[in-house]
Structure 1
Amino acid sequence: MARIAVIGAGMGAMAAAARLAVAGHRVAVYERTETYGGAVRRFERDGFAFDTGPGLLTLPAVYRDLFVKTGKEPLESLVELVQVDPSSRHVFTDGTEVSLPNASRAGVVAALDEALGAGAGARWGDFLIRARDAWDRTRRPLLEEPLWPNWQVLMREPYPAVPHKRLLRTRRACTLQEIGGWELRDPRLAALLYGHALAYGVDPGTAPASAAVLPYMEHAFGTWYARGGIRELARAVYERCVRRKVEFHFGAEVTGVLEKDGRTAGLELSDGTVVEADTVVGTGPWRLRGLVPGRELYGAKDVPPDAEDLHYGRVVVCLALRGPREPDAVHRTVVYGPEPENELALFVDGEVPDPTVRVDRPDDPALRPDAGHESVVLTATVPCGLRHDWTRPTVVESFTDRMVAAAERAVPGLRERILWREVRTPVHTERETGATGGAVPPPSLAGGEGTLHPSNNTALPGLFTAGGWSHPGGGLAHAGMSGALVAGLIVEGPEFRGSQ
């Protein structure tokens, strides 16, 4: 039995902790805040409750596998997962609207043809077939296996783009923006594509063509909601850890990783406490450097950790509404800004654009005080705190007003129904997760402009990393996968090659 210390109680860290405890190790988690879940948080007030992190789940099989491998009770016995149908409603800049059924390619094709005109559905359906090819080529190396030592091969574009003739040249799409213009050939279909990228904190203007896998995952595996909010999934994972005898220490800030005889030996906490451990599962690689001063954790041949503030964050607006939710209201609506493919670039350049806003209206009595009220969450992807000043109240208020105005295109009369609103910016994300500037990690993507995250093991023996800033990157499902990979590497050693 090894002593394993885990830094942080995020979803990836807890997924690793539960698996390691089942393998017979003594596991203790040290979390600097007072709760678990990382970015999967809940805000409560006056009988209203809101998910302030992810509002929906794709690839629920990741967490089903976690619960199968760590105990007798399956996930569905602890959390009620329901498919959201329609999976999403989309309100485009020209006023066109379409609702897309959950996990039905034929249904999506028919809905797009009816809303956008004959041929639109077929173009989107053909795009999904190409996206499936990219998924098949990258699924194992990007999600299910430890990062390959020859990771450079993953920078080859896996998306089978359609040849595009322009003047005397034939080109293939290398970015999402080029897929939208050259293959989808309809600004509304292009916006539909860009909206999926924005939801993951990926800039559509620079994202590689391989980001086509993001809408494919939703269409292929469905979109799911946990009754009581996605925070219930975090609760279930935490409670599974506790039942597997994982120790949790909250309010315990780690200030150093100890080293002895060339390998990890434990942790030092901010109050001076020394924790002995044979193995340490760390936090984001960028921040981990500060805990191991004077040592390089990644070599020249490894994927270098990006500075966290190079990535994007989120503004989340929690709205407490008077009046009941309409019976035909859709769980998620995406309201597009005038330039979704460029809105993040415009933001950074100083001209704050009208944002693309995701409007979540769960039909869940657990989130409202009674049937005469409704809780709604608005989310927009934005530059993080080091690229835009989210500490100024006037900046926050102005941007929040824009988000509410956009959401009113999906929910007429919204402003008149607001009892109060709570705004969460990248400032809150930094406070809750420790990520520099409140950035949110994107998923790993192949291709020349894709983002790969550092491997789950480091150059210091006994030190591993789990969570969104490590392989395979950000996203609720990806965090669960990182936990599985870390547990496999610790239990089986460097020969571990992922689940078969």
Structure 2
Amino acid sequence: MARIVVVGAGVGGLATAARLAATGHQVTVFERADTVGGKLGRYAHDTPAGSFHFDTGPSLLTLPEVFHDLFEATGAKLDEYLDLVPLDPIVRHVFPADGPALDSCADPVEFATRIGAAFGDRAAADWQRLWRRAARVWNASSRDILRRTVDSPRDLASLAWRVGDLAAIAPGRTLRGLGRRHLSDPRLRMMLDRYATYTGADPRRAPAALVAVPYAELAFGGWYLRGGLGTLADALLTRCLDLGVVVQTDATVTRIDATGGRVHGVRLAGVTAPVPADVVVANVDALTVYRDLLPHPRRLAGLTDRSLAGFVLLLGVSGSTGLAHHNVFFPRDYDAEFDAIFGDPGRGVRARPAADPTVFVTVADDPMVRPAGHEAWFVLVNAPRQGTAAGAVDWRRPGLADAYADRVLDVLARRGMDVRDRLLFREVRTPADLDAATGAPGGSIYGTAGGLLRPANRGPANGLWLVGGSTHPGGGLPMVTLSAQIVADEIGPAW
């Protein structure tokens, strides 16, 4: 039996702790915040009309089998803890030109039919060809990448991909290039581009292999958890406590002790004595690990290319708007948005809030999260990270957050969804707020910008492991949960 310390009680940390405790290890979790969940945050707002409850992080659960596997591995059933609600549509796409919206769904034949009805038979045929290619990429990725350690480019190169897999993955091609090659309709190209933002990347630079992301969402479905996705954190905490895991909140780890090439424990703020450990699992951003907790210049190199961040509005809206659960309102010029968000430091062009951004609106039809006759809106806009460098924006600048919130509401109004005179309240969350709340450097949602190779799960000292969205296999709830499975399997059982 190993003494294991998990740093951070996000989904990755809690999932790892539960798996390790279920196999006989002695596990303690230290979390700097006063609650668990990490980026799976929540916010409640009381009004005379009643209480509103918001997920402030992920709003969609995909690959449900990953979570079924997690709970079964810890001796439980997912359905005993969580109420999964399938979504149709998964996402409603609203495009800038007049015309029909496009509702995605988990039935590929039905989705192709919807594309044909909205954009014509050629668009539907284009999508079906791309879908077949995406299936090959997904199958190769899920078989060779998502459930095993990938520590270096050499590991990727040595994977036993068949020639057909390599052709589908198209090394060196971008997601934007793949869309232009396969999709004739500009609206479908725009929809495909959006999936690069799932990894925090610019579609003009993101690898074509990210076509696996829409495949995973549309092949296995999108799901909502009744009561909000934050209930996943509650369920994982319950599993951990039932398995004997010690979870301490308001406990900040300041250092990982790793003299002599192996970990010995961690140090906590305000505590003189170190906490001994045979194994340390870090569920914090890899940049924070190698910059602050265990300084390592070689591992730190390359982690400064940060993913995009998010600007969020939490709105209490009176009445019903008829929106789907997830809605995307696209701009007329998608490239202008990416030019603004990422800037071009090499040419002296600073990042800035996009003037006409894509707006994501999540509205859960769930009486547990809003009073009768009202809606709780989670509004997300892609945004530059917090900072003062050329590729960032100082969101703490007085007046900026409120001014941009006004701008986002104006954009929604121009796109036919004006709720400015129906607001009971609005709360603003900037990348600076995410940085402060979760320790995500600059408020970057996915750590480093998306690509096939993420920081390795295996740390540079024996007994050190990394889990979470900034590490392999990537961001998003299922990938974070798979990182926990990878690490727990590598550590092995206590017996």
- TM-score (structure 2 length as normaliser): 0.89
The residue number in structure 2 matching 1:193 is 192
For 2:294 and 2:90, the matched residues in 1 are separated by 47
For 2:448 and 2:85, the matched residues in 1 are separated by 24
Structure 2 counterpart of 1:19, one-letter code: R
Matched, 1:320 2:325: no
> Residues 452-467 of structure 1 correspond to what in structure 2 (within 5 A)?
452-467=453-468
Query: 2:215 is paired with a residue of what secondary structure?
Result: helix
Structure 2 counterpart of 1:362, one-letter code: A
The residue number in structure 1 matching 2:208 is 209
Structure 1 counterpart of 2:367, one-letter code: P
The residue number in structure 2 matching 1:132 is 135
The residue number in structure 2 matching 1:224 is 223
Structure 2 counterpart of 1:48, one-letter code: F
Aligned equivalent of 2:112, options 109, 112, 133: 109
* 1:376, distance to aligned residue in structure 2 (A): 0.8
The residue number in structure 2 matching 1:301 is none
Aligned equivalent of 2:405, options 383, 400, 407: 400
* 1:309, distance to aligned residue in structure 2 (A): 5.8
Matched, 1:357 2:362: no
* 1:456, distance to aligned residue in structure 2 (A): 1.0
* 1:142, distance to aligned residue in structure 2 (A): 2.6
Structure 2 counterpart of 1:314, one-letter code: G
* 1:203, distance to aligned residue in structure 2 (A): 1.2
Output one character per residue of 1:201-246: Cα deviation in whole Å (capped at 9) or x when no partner: 2211211111111111111110010001110111111111111111
For 2:448 and 2:66, the matched residues in 1 are separated by 15
For 2:421 and 2:143, the matched residues in 1 are separated by 49
User: Which segments of 5 or more consecutive residues in structure 2 lack a partner in the other structure?
Assistant: 344-348
Matched, 1:119 2:122: yes
The residue number in structure 2 matching 1:63 is 67
Q: Is the 8 A contact 2:285 2:447 kept in 1?
A: no
Matched, 1:52 2:53: no
For 1:162 and 1:470, the matched residues in 2 are separated by 21
The residue number in structure 2 matching 1:31 is 31
* 1:451, distance to aligned residue in structure 2 (A): 4.2
Q: Is the 8 A contact 2:328 2:358 kept in 1?
A: yes
For 1:320 and 1:393, the matched residues in 2 are separated by 24
> Residues 173-192 of structure 1 correspond to what in structure 2 (within 5 A)?
174-192=173-191
Q: Is the 8 A contact 1:184 1:190 kept in 2?
A: yes
User: Which deviates more from structure 2 when the two are superposed, residues 29-38 or residues 94-103?
Assistant: 94-103
For 2:124 and 2:398, the matched residues in 1 are separated by 43
Give the 4+ runs in structure 1 shifted more than 6 A.
154-157, 442-445
User: Which deviates more from structure 2 when the two are superposed, residues 345-354 or residues 465-474?
Assistant: 345-354
The residue number in structure 1 matching 2:434 is 429
Query: 1:153 is paired with a residue of what secondary structure?
Result: helix
When residues 80 and 294 of structure 1 are mapped into structure 2, their CA distance, relative to the original with a 3 A threshold, is closer
Structure 2 counterpart of 1:126, one-letter code: R
Q: Is the 8 A contact 2:306 2:447 kept in 1?
A: no
> Residues 321-360 of structure 1 correspond to what in structure 2 (within 5 A)?
321-324=317-320, 326=322, 329-347=323-341, 348=343, 349-350=349-350, 352-360=354-362
The residue number in structure 1 matching 2:91 is 88
For 1:249 and 1:116, the matched residues in 2 are separated by 53
For 2:151 and 2:458, the matched residues in 1 are separated by 12
The residue number in structure 1 matching 2:420 is 415
When residues 295 and 422 of structure 1 are mapped into structure 2, their CA distance, relative to the original with a 3 A threshold, is closer
- TM-score (structure 1 length as normaliser): 0.88
For 2:398 and 2:185, the matched residues in 1 are separated by 38
For 2:428 and 2:118, the matched residues in 1 are separated by 34
For 1:292 and 1:315, the matched residues in 2 are separated by 28
Query: 2:145 is paired with a residue of what secondary structure?
Result: helix
Matched, 1:77 2:71: no
When residues 54 and 410 of structure 1 are mapped into structure 2, their CA distance, relative to the original with a 3 A threshold, is farther
Q: Is the 8 A contact 1:8 1:30 kept in 2?
A: yes
For 1:240 and 1:306, the matched residues in 2 are separated by 36
For 1:255 and 1:76, the matched residues in 2 are separated by 37
For 2:302 and 2:396, the matched residues in 1 are separated by 24
For 1:173 and 1:287, the matched residues in 2 are separated by 30
Q: Is the 8 A contact 2:151 2:455 kept in 1?
A: no
Q: Is the 8 A contact 1:17 1:241 kept in 2?
A: yes
When residues 360 and 384 of structure 1 are mapped into structure 2, their CA distance, relative to the original with a 3 A threshold, is same
Output one character per residue of 1:385-418: Cα deviation in whole Å (capped at 9) or x when no partner: 1211211243222322232233346663422211
Structure 2 counterpart of 1:356, one-letter code: T
Structure 2 counterpart of 1:452, one-letter code: L
Structure 2 counterpart of 1:340, one-letter code: Y
User: Which segments of 5 or more consecutive residues in structure 1 lack a partner in the other structure?
Assistant: 164-171, 299-303, 494-500
Q: Is the 8 A contact 1:309 1:437 kept in 2?
A: no
For 2:67 and 2:94, the matched residues in 1 are separated by 32
Structure 1 counterpart of 2:71, one-letter code: F
User: Which deviates more from structure 2 when the two are superposed, residues 43-52 or residues 279-288?
Assistant: 279-288
Q: Is the 8 A contact 1:285 1:305 kept in 2?
A: no
Q: Is the 8 A contact 2:83 2:225 kept in 1?
A: yes
For 2:301 and 2:52, the matched residues in 1 are separated by 39
Q: Is the 8 A contact 2:455 2:471 kept in 1?
A: yes
* 1:260, distance to aligned residue in structure 2 (A): 4.9
For 1:40 and 1:489, the matched residues in 2 are separated by 26
Q: Is the 8 A contact 1:2 1:26 kept in 2?
A: yes
Aligned equivalent of 2:155, options 141, 148, 151: 151
* 1:132, distance to aligned residue in structure 2 (A): 1.0
When residues 154 and 285 of structure 1 are mapped into structure 2, their CA distance, relative to the original with a 3 A threshold, is farther
* 1:143, distance to aligned residue in structure 2 (A): 1.0
Q: Is the 8 A contact 1:305 1:453 kept in 2?
A: no
Query: 2:255 is paired with a residue of what secondary structure?
Result: strand
The residue number in structure 2 matching 1:43 is 43
When residues 173 and 125 of structure 1 are mapped into structure 2, their CA distance, relative to the original with a 3 A threshold, is farther
For 1:42 and 1:341, the matched residues in 2 are separated by 32
Output one character per residue of 1:360-401: Cα deviation in whole Å (capped at 9) or x when no partner: 111000111x21211111112211112112112432223222
When residues 217 and 256 of structure 1 are mapped into structure 2, their CA distance, relative to the original with a 3 A threshold, is same
Output one character per residue of 1:25-58: Cα deviation in whole Å (capped at 9) or x when no partner: 1100111111111100011111001111010111
Output one character per residue of 1:419-444: Cα deviation in whole Å (capped at 9) or x when no partner: 11111111111112212111111699
When residues 263 and 161 of structure 1 are mapped into structure 2, their CA distance, relative to the original with a 3 A threshold, is closer
For 2:194 and 2:369, the matched residues in 1 are separated by 26
